[in-house]
Structure 1
Amino acid sequence: MDSLETPNSRQKENTNPQEEEGKKQQEKVNRFWSLRYAMAIMIHVCNLIMSAEYSSLSIAIIAMVNHTGQSNQSNVSTQDYPGATEDRGVPVYDWSPEIQGVLLSATLYGSVITTIPSGYFAGVFGGKKIVGLSLLTSSVLNLLVPLAADYGLLYLLIVRIVQGLAQGMNYSALSAFWPKWAPPLERTQLSTIGFSGTTLGNFISVFGGGFLCEYPGWPSIFYIYGGIGCVYSILWFALVYDDPVSHPLISDKEKEYLISSTTVQVNSTSWSLPLKAMVKSLAFWAIIVSNICRYWLMSNLTTSLPTLLDNMLDLNFQKNGFLSALPLITSWVSMMLGSYIADFLLSKKILTLIRVRKLFTFLGMFFPSLFAVAVPYVDATTAIVLLILSSSMSTLCFSGFIINPLDIAPRYASFILSVGTAFMLLSGLISPIITGYFISQDATGWKNVFFLSSAINMLGMIFYLIFGRTDIQDWAKEHQLTRF
């Protein structure tokens, strides 16, 4: 990683007139009780609901099957868990582990299809309508899951695939808000508040799902999350706006501050995408490669934690569910704390933007790799602690390369994030196959899994530390418009 430098020796790429203007006005504008932070919370809740809906089946499927077998993609253990029975008034199904795996992965395949197109169109038209439609569609389909399961496996599979198509529109489209709503000195914290809803939603789903399966039964998971999502989609359309200029509740002072300190992009159907220049850019590939490598490790850690709980410790369902959810809540805390520290380092001019991005990428990739390699050589309790630490520290990357598209190409941030997400999802589809191959070979299979995952993660870190940039790339520059 590049050596740290003093403010007087800053590189040219970190000098930004908009950022300097934002610094002058920052103290005059309220931060935490502002509309831009309210927008971040709205996005946070949206991500929370979508994430809970995404995880619903992986939790409920344990109670939906009429045997004690468990899909290896589930987030919780069935050990000592009686499951749903007919005398409780909830249906159960005779699904093999292979069928369960197909159902669980169906939304992932759907998400891969829509994530890039939605990122592109969000950059052209804004993210409000795309995200609202995504949330409403996913929520309605969540309500239909119990009915579809009763009608037959084919109907449930169709619902899951279409739900995946809807959910794939959400993450990348949400990124279109930040070029207009997040000033440079608050960009890390605001965007991380929004992103962290995904982690908190997973926590709520894993932690609360087991209890909902016990009472009133597994269908309640889909009805509760789907119902909340439908209601929230109404609030979304009413309260969320694509930019501060059109929001009726924003103060004049905050509006002036946001317009003067952010990049104002033009929403137009003539919006062009410099795809050739983008593909040739190492700054672009630094983000994509890091996404692939980080998710390879994290997907394996997510899979391995419940397995370790099952194999190494004799835990009942509720304890296993709690320990499976524990990395999610610690990751949420780590994300929020990391974003605050990152913006503090920037606002106090302790580090330049490029140093902050590379520092948090280093912390979020080096130490998880180190911890993961040590897992096969320690006792069960220590292994669980290391896996929790790995998952938690990995979220520091949200203050590093993950939000880097907002630095190098604010105009195309939603598209770049969507490409990164698509590659990330493909990584998540491939890594379990490789993991399964290693585990099936011999007793040292898990060691090979952790070594390979850690090596891939380190490769992504090194690639970003060498090629990562924060200056707006030539292909992403645009003429600014005055809206007064």
Structure 2
Amino acid sequence: MDNKFPPRKVPSFCSFRYGLSLLLHVCNVLIMSQRMCVSLTMVVMVNRTDPHGLPNTSTEELLDNIKNPVYNWSPEIQGIIFSSIFYGSVIFQIPAGYLSGIYSVKKMVGSTLFVSSLINLFIPLAAQVGETLVIVCRVAQGVAQGTVAAAQQVIWIKWAPPLERGRLTSISISGFMLGPFITLIATGFICKSLGWPMVFYILGACGCTLSLLWFVLFYDEPKDHPCMSISEKEYITSFHVQQVSSSEYSLPIKDMLKSLPLWAICMCIFALFWSSTIILFYTPTFINSKLHVNINENGLLSALPHLFAWIFGILAGQMADFLLSRNIFSILNIRKLFIMLGLLLPALFCVCLLYLSSSFYGTIIFLILACATGSFTMVTVIVNTLEIAPRYCGFLNGFILVIGTIAGIISSTLTGIILNQDPESSWFKIFFLIAGINVIGVIFYLIFAKAEIQDWAKEKQHTRL
């Protein structure tokens, strides 16, 4: 039976599968850093309030202008540059998820990580040509990064034993949470000391190097890896003996669209991306409006929620697999528990930000908790697709990531409109909207979620000869 686990377990701490999870973790850190760095370098890239190029400009200012070229981009152009990477992600995440179930994930992840990093190296040159080329580069970069995000989840079908899926997935996915922290901390320092182009050069060079390392260290099949121990290969493959890899398969689109367990996952990913995108882009604005700190303190305070989100994300995977291995709860109840924690707690802390954050420390604590507790959902939304449809999880992960990306685009745009039109009560509307969407996502998931393979996702035995 599928639910019988081999009695012999290979120690996980120094195993290759955990090394693979850490490698993916670093990949995701770099992807997120490349995505976010432009939002911080833009402060230095755009024209300053003082007239540019005055005849009495000092030598120090001239050297600074050489190190930090300045462009006359309007707020509208800046907004398009910020959001253009999301349009690239939306375009290709579903095809990438589908193709990852057919072609080599090693080649897909490695090559698109290299392309994203190569584009990052050319963005300073593109900025000299004009904002249109920067936007084109960001869209192309979004296509590459969307492919990395969608394709990597297929890896755990073959590499993760069922009792370790939560922790392996949470370790790799938490890289998306650590990336903003590192970016917010390091970008300002690099811009000041080396110039903003060096931010793109450093992240691009690191990504190119990592992509080459990926091609060396990763293999699509555990059994083909030359560096793994035989005992670990046997341990991993013993869980997947019944899986049939097929180079071609038809997608049951109609059954997918009618699947309420799948839409339950989509509702949760929509709520997660809605709130996390607002926190990602508007935390500095919120801190500035409430605490009135200087730019250096704002950067540090804005980075702290992402650091704790990274810590909570890793802990969530450990907790989920511990509960599963001890048979404390069923798989479905564990998924529901972490969805409740990951959506209801942020909703609660968002409301606390409005009514209980009169002090400096109160605001920071509730802001950290609102961001960090959302990480509990990651142990469910990604792993749950492996459980209800392992055969199509690549395509489904691409689909739910598109749903999440659309939520992020809508939430960031709507938040900007609310802040622009109603500055007095804007944060009340923004945070109550987050809380409401999270509660709806929890209710829908509690009613319709499943944790077993659905009929439309099962292998059709009668089609074999």
> 1:92 aligned to 2:70?
yes
Deviation at 1:68, TM superposition (A): 5.4
Contact 1:370 1:454 in 2 (8 A): yes
Q: Spell out the pairing of 1:258-269 with structure 2 (5 A cutoff).
A: 258-262=236-240, 265-269=243-247
Q: Tell me the amino acid that sits aligned with residue 152 of structure 2.
A: L
1:432 is matched with: 412
Measured in 2, the distance between the counterparts of 1:331 and 1:242 equals 30
Q: 1:346 aligns with which of 324, 331, 339?
A: 324
Deviation at 1:253, TM superposition (A): 1.5
Could you list the per-position Cα deviations for residues 450-475 of structure 1 after superposition, in whole angstroms to 9, with x for gaps in the alignment? 11121011100111111111011111
Contact 2:77 2:131 in 1 (8 A): no
2:8 is matched with: 25
Measured in 1, the distance between the counterparts of 2:368 and 2:49 equals 27
Deviation at 1:265, TM superposition (A): 4.1
1:75 is matched with: none
Q: Tell me the amino acid that sits aligned with residue 42 of structure 2.
A: I
Measured in 2, the distance between the counterparts of 1:326 and 1:46 equals 21
> 1:332 aligned to 2:310?
yes
SS of residue paired to 1:270: coil
Q: 2:378 aligns with which of 376, 393, 398?
A: 398
Q: Spell out the pairing of 1:126-165 with structure 2 (5 A cutoff).
A: 126-165=104-143
Could you list the per-position Cα deviations for residues 330-369 of structure 1 after superposition, in whole angstroms to 9, with x for gaps in the alignment? 0010011111111111111111111111111101111110
Q: 1:340 to 1:94 in 2, by over 3 A?
A: same
Measured in 2, the distance between the counterparts of 1:283 and 1:263 equals 26
Contact 2:153 2:382 in 1 (8 A): no
> 1:447 aligned to 2:428?
yes
Q: 2:23 aligns with which of 42, 45, 49?
A: 42
Contact 2:309 2:371 in 1 (8 A): yes
Q: 1:448 to 1:270 in 2, by over 3 A?
A: same
> 1:458 aligned to 2:452?
no
1:322 is matched with: 300
Q: 5+ residue gaps in structure 1?
A: 1-16, 70-83
Q: Which runs of 4+ in 1 moved over 6 A?
A: none
Q: 2:271 aligns with which of 293, 301, 308?
A: 293
Q: Tell me the amino acid that sits aligned with residue 429 of structure 1.
A: I
Q: 5+ residue gaps in structure 2?
A: 51-59
Could you list the per-position Cα deviations for residues 108-165 of structure 1 after superposition, in whole angstroms to 9, with x for gaps in the alignment? 1111001110000001124211111110000000000111111222221211111111
Indicate the larger mover: 364-373 or 471-480.
471-480
Deviation at 1:479, TM superposition (A): 7.0
Measured in 2, the distance between the counterparts of 1:233 and 1:302 equals 26
SS of residue paired to 2:79: helix
Q: Tell me the amino acid that sits aligned with residue 65 of structure 1.
A: V
> 1:388 aligned to 2:371?
no
Contact 1:85 1:92 in 2 (8 A): no
Measured in 1, the distance between the counterparts of 2:233 and 2:405 equals 37
Deviation at 1:57, TM superposition (A): 0.8
Q: Spell out the pairing of 1:39-188 with structure 2 (5 A cutoff).
A: 39-67=20-48, 86-88=62-64, 89-90=66-67, 91-188=69-166
Could you list the per-position Cα deviations for residues 18-60 of structure 1 after superposition, in whole angstroms to 9, with x for gaps in the alignment? 33224x232xx12111111111111111111111111121121
Contact 1:291 1:402 in 2 (8 A): no
Deviation at 1:380, TM superposition (A): 5.1
Contact 1:184 1:262 in 2 (8 A): no
Measured in 2, the distance between the counterparts of 1:287 and 1:85 equals 53
Indicate the larger mover: 109-118 or 424-433.
424-433
Measured in 2, the distance between the counterparts of 1:43 and 1:265 equals 23
Query: Size of the alignment, in residue pairs?
Result: 447
Deviation at 1:297, TM superposition (A): 2.0
Deviation at 1:300, TM superposition (A): 2.1
Contact 1:126 1:176 in 2 (8 A): no
Measured in 1, the distance between the counterparts of 2:274 and 2:142 equals 20
Q: 1:468 aligns with which of 449, 452, 456?
A: 449
Deviation at 1:271, TM superposition (A): 2.1
Could you list the per-position Cα deviations for residues 72-101 of structure 1 after superposition, in whole angstroms to 9, with x for gaps in the alignment? xxxxxxxxxxxx954222211111111111
Measured in 2, the distance between the counterparts of 1:55 and 1:294 equals 18
Q: Spell out the pairing of 1:228-247 with structure 2 (5 A cutoff).
A: 228-247=206-225
- The RMSD of aligned alpha carbons is 1.8
Deviation at 1:431, TM superposition (A): 1.4
Deviation at 1:262, TM superposition (A): 3.2
TM-score by length of 1: 0.89
Measured in 2, the distance between the counterparts of 1:469 and 1:209 equals 42
2:55 is matched with: none
1:359 is matched with: 337
